[in-house]
Chain A
Amino acid sequence: MTVIVEIIKGAISLISGMCVTTKAFFAPVVTVQYPRQTVNISPRFRGHTKLVADEERPDRTKCIVCGMCERNCPSGSIKKVEGEKLEGEKKKTATVYILNYTTCSQCGLCVETCPADALAFSADYNVTSYKKEDFYYDLIKEFDKRKKA
């Protein structure tokens, strides 16, 4: 007798499980169809870093070529930060800023330690390429590209 009771109880539990999936079947889908729609990405999203434009001279970056980010990067992703002193100016202007994104861990230490607040995270969330060399960014060139866009 107990066997029959157990079987009936089991069957009821299975049927209630099937009710759940039926309900889900008729519920609207939650899919965001990526290339056609995109998820709202938080403004704090951490992509690779980018250089921020100087408010006073929007065609240039805020970077003062101090090398703090380079020294602080845990994985040595920031390969080369170079700049030159333009005539009649106090601060240096960055000319080369090579970021090896393939070793970056998006920890934000460079952004945090930057004394000039020249670095920020970009929202490049879907970068792909056939070559890994494409991820050696020159942030100055990226900055110029973004400026045009």
Chain B
Amino acid sequence: MGKGGFYLETKGPIIKFAIAEKFINLARANSIWPMTFGLACCAIEMMAAAMARFDIARFGAEVFRPSPRQADLMIINGTVTKKMAPTIVTLFEQMPSPKWVIAMGNCAISGGPFVFEGQYNIIEGIDKLIPVDVYVPGCPPRPEGLLEALMKLEEKITGTRRFPIPEQKW
């Protein structure tokens, strides 16, 4: 970890078996364990997604691991300050690959409403520090947004979307 915010690139396995890989990817996509990690407002909505009404457990993602070593997914849910940034990079590095990142909420995406000229304390977008897989905008996004992001992540891992797309409410 450097102060500039570089993360260590971990190499994938040397030998790959296509079918096994596909199978394991399917398993991975359906067993995403997020890290217990709350930053700000969006953390409450992340909790709400894990609660009875939205129940992230249906997709096997309710196993919130407090230790980064056992987590697959890091949900950046809130403003990342310059004081917090090194910690986040460390946590990300401590996760064993394959690992994914969801930037939840506007603060994580771009600094959100806290960007102004002369700001001295926030990182304008977590993608400047670590690679982000799925972005969920909103301030904060509804829990459905997070569930949708989980499905997007599954689509990214396996290549297909398993779930129906809910009706758009224009």
Contact = CB atoms under 8 A, between A and B. Distances in A.
Contact of B110 (A32, A102, A127): A102
Interface of A: 29-36, 38-39, 41, 47-48, 50, 74-76, 100-106, 122-132, 134-135, 146, 149
B106 A128 contact: no
Interface stretch (B29-37, B63-71, B86-94, B130-138): B130-138
Instruction: Give the interface residue-count category, chain B.
Output: 35 or more
Interface string B20-31: 000000000000
B52 A35 contact: no
A6 to B, nearest CB: 34
Interface string B156-170: 100000011111111
Interface in B117-165: 125, 127, 132-139, 141-142, 144-145, 147-149, 151-152, 156, 163-165
A31 B59 CA distance: 13
B145 A38 contact: no
A33 B152 CA distance: 17
Nearest to B52: A30
A11 B141 CA distance: 44
B154 to A, nearest CB: 11
B155 to A, nearest CB: 9
The secondary-structure label for the interface of chain A is loop
Given A101-B106, A126-B145, A128-B134, A31 B52 contact: yes
For B106, B112, B115, the residue with the greatest tally of chain A CB atoms inside 10 Å of its CB is: B106
B166 A149 contact: no
B58 A31 contact: yes
Contact of B144 (A29, A39, A131): A39
B78 interface: no
Nearest to A43: B169
B106 A105 contact: yes
A135 B113 contact: no
Nearest to B102: A128
B137 A146 contact: no
Nearest to B162: A35
Q: Which 8 A-B pairs have the closest CB atoms?
A: A105-B113, A102-B110, A123-B169, A35-B163, A126-B148, A75-B113, A31-B55, A126-B144
A93 to B, nearest CB: 22
A33 B53 CA distance: 8
A31 B113 contact: no
